[in-house]
Structure 1
Amino acid sequence: MSIFERLAAWIPGQWEKVIITAVLIGLAFLVSNLWARYLARMEISAEKRRMQLVWVRNVIWFVAMLIIVSVWASTIAGFALSLAAVAGAILIVSKELVMCIHGYFYATLVQPYKIGDVIEFNQLRGRVVDIDMFATTLVELDKAGQRTGKVAEFPNGLLLTHPLVNASPNGAFALHAIRIPMPERFSHDLDGIEAAALAAADHATAAWQEEAMTHFRKASEENFIALPSGKTKVSWDFSDPEHLVLVIRVACPIEQRAKVEQAVFRDTWRALSPEPPTLSANRLVGRQCTCFSQGSCPARAAPP
């Protein structure tokens, strides 16, 4: 028997419904893509593009699924009655297992993260290294972005009930916020602190700053989302009045966030801190102290 004859034997009398379903799915994909291309040529803001894209896409797929369900209504009713008891028993006995499988389908279809992304989930932070049917595996990272040497896993079922933060959703470049606590003795010169921080950040990101800005601009146009420009920005966190925190936002490659953070901190702190005395000055001070202690300093013996 040919493949088509076998399919006809498996689905007796249902070929018309199968063809209608395939045509509806194809039309839904086609109309969604045509609408996205049409929006890309319109002179409107990214927020409005994204809003219209999501709204129209949801309407298209809702109508298509409604028609498909109505076409298969009689078949679905008979099949559902025969499997209702078995499905109920499976859900009761293995609820967690079913949730893990549903979470895997969610991660596959929606793609909130992929291999190589850095995510924060349920008090875990790390780089995704594996996604299987039941769990997601992370290489744990500390707050500075360094590997801790630990591997963490969480069941995919938790994706359905817990929020997730993807720290690298925009491809090769990411926005990284560097937080530097400021001592009270520096609070009188906020402009000088901001200037030192901007100079340090621009120096650390000079090699890719233009490329990063082009990357974020292109990502905004393709995804219909108003993303930040990627330009270095300085702000203050004054939620605790007794402890001011300088926040420096930079755009950098994902794998270099820790290196950039350390460089910006060192250069900023070096610019704000007073210069240490030179070696010659230290020697002069030591010589004067020795002379005074011995009472034989020439400068002290000379008349005024």
Structure 2
Amino acid sequence: MSISTFDLTLERLALLIPGHWDKVILTAILISLALLFSQIWVRYLARGQISAEKRRLHLVWARNIIWFAALFAIISLWASTITGFALSLAAVAGALLIVSKELVMCVHGYLYVTLVQPFKVGDVIEFGALKGRVIDIDMFATTLTEFDAAGQATGNVAEFPNGLLLTTPLRNMSPTGTFSLHHVRIPVPEAFVHDLDRIEIASMAAAERVTGPWRDEAIAHFRKVSEQQFIHFPSGKNKVSWDFSNPEHLVLVVRVACPSDERSGVEQAVFRETWKAMVPQTSPPGGD
């Protein structure tokens, strides 16, 4: 029954559209104008002398109004035609939901990824209990190469249905492209809490040495991304801070900017050099 209803809807659509080419042309013009005005507004904001936060706010506000006006005009233009199809379209939608709700959710999730682009192939994401690099996105599922807690590839491949994107929070670890900010967390034993200044100096020296080959390029990259996306990202400079949320376990947090695919190696190098500075060097066995 659902197939015959769907075929009937297509036949009625085929019969009606030839008599409404003027509406089709006007719809295409409205969409083109909305795209044009959006791009003009983006270029105008890019030349302005306002902060990134205000640019982003103005961009979202103007874009929503432009597309709302275009959508309202299109709906008004097709109102009489849409009314005649309301019952048929409702019947087709109901039949599809009955056949497979999960399948429809997966397709909607794919449309969400395509239109909103919360992530793309090559990005590192956290999704529920999964963490890894996106290697494939198809109509029904997204595939990752899995990472462990230390950011090392496990060799496993994980997959989740796109329908879950509509209900599960997602974290993109690569929102800024080539370079990303990474936070190295180093636990500080209680025996060393009397010498925090020396630990800070050692960790900063380690971060400066490890990120030296690309530090200037990373700072320029974050400045460019902030201007293009109208979002105020950190400068990309190395920074040291303390996490004392748990008084019994003091943690040193070292923020570094590094290539997105080298986070694990940078973390290991900063940790080793900082730990060497914290732990007293002992003489080898048999020494004087």
TM-score (norm 2): 0.93
Q: Cα offset for 1:283? A: 4.2
1:61 alignment partner, SS class: helix
Q: Cα offset for 1:122? A: 1.1
Letter paired with 1:143: A
Tell me which of 185, 189, 194 is aligned to 1:188.
Answer: 194
Give 2:262's aligned residue: 256
Give 5+ residue unaligned stretches, structure 1.
Answer: 1-7, 285-304
Tell me how far apart the structure 2 counterparts of residues 129 and 164 of structure 1 sit (CA, whole Å).
16
Give 2:5's aligned residue: none
Does 2:274 align with 1:268?
A: yes
Give 1:299's aligned residue: none
Letter paired with 1:80: A
Q: Cα offset for 1:189? A: 1.4
Q: Cα offset for 1:190? A: 1.3
1:276 alignment partner, SS class: coil
Alignment of 1:197-212 (within 5 A): 197-212=203-218
1:236 alignment partner, SS class: strand
Segment of structure 1 superposing worse, 41-50 or 80-89: 80-89
Give 1:287's aligned residue: none
Give 2:223's aligned residue: 217
Tell me how far apart the structure 2 counterparts of residues 205 and 283 of structure 1 sit (CA, whole Å).
36
Tell me which of 156, 165, 170 is aligned to 2:162.
Answer: 156
CA RMSD of aligned residues (A): 1.5
1:168 alignment partner, SS class: coil
1:189 alignment partner, SS class: helix
Tell me how far apart the structure 1 counterparts of residues 137 and 215 of structure 2 sit (CA, whole Å).
33
Q: Cα offset for 1:168? A: 0.5
Q: Cα offset for 1:86? A: 2.7
The runs of at least 4 aligned residues of structure 1 exceeding 3 Å deviation read: none
Give 1:301's aligned residue: none
Letter paired with 1:57: R
* Structure whose CA Rg is larger: 1
Q: Cα offset for 1:278? A: 4.6
1:11 alignment partner, SS class: helix
Q: Cα offset for 1:150? A: 1.0
2:171 alignment partner, SS class: strand
Give 1:44's aligned residue: 50
Tell me which of 145, 150, 174 is aligned to 2:151.
Answer: 145
Alignment of 1:270-285 (within 5 A): 270-278=276-284, 282-284=286-288
TM-score (norm 1): 0.88
Give 1:288's aligned residue: none
2:19 alignment partner, SS class: coil
- With over 3 angstroms needed to count, the CA separation of the structure-2 counterparts of 1:274 and 1:58, relative to structure 1, is same
Q: Cα offset for 1:51? A: 0.3
Give 1:72's aligned residue: 78
- With over 3 angstroms needed to count, the CA separation of the structure-2 counterparts of 1:70 and 1:163, relative to structure 1, is same
1:125 alignment partner, SS class: strand
- With over 3 angstroms needed to count, the CA separation of the structure-2 counterparts of 1:283 and 1:222, relative to structure 1, is closer
Q: Cα offset for 1:10? A: 7.2
* Identity within the alignment, %: 68
1:12 alignment partner, SS class: helix
Give 1:172's aligned residue: 178
Letter paired with 1:13: G
Give 1:105's aligned residue: 111
2:122 alignment partner, SS class: coil
1:248 alignment partner, SS class: strand
Tell me how far apart the structure 2 counterparts of residues 16 and 200 of structure 1 sit (CA, whole Å).
67
Tell me how far apart the structure 1 counterparts of residues 191 and 88 of structure 2 sit (CA, whole Å).
76
Q: Cα offset for 1:143? A: 1.8
1:175 alignment partner, SS class: strand
Q: Cα offset for 1:90? A: 1.6
Q: How many residues align?
A: 276
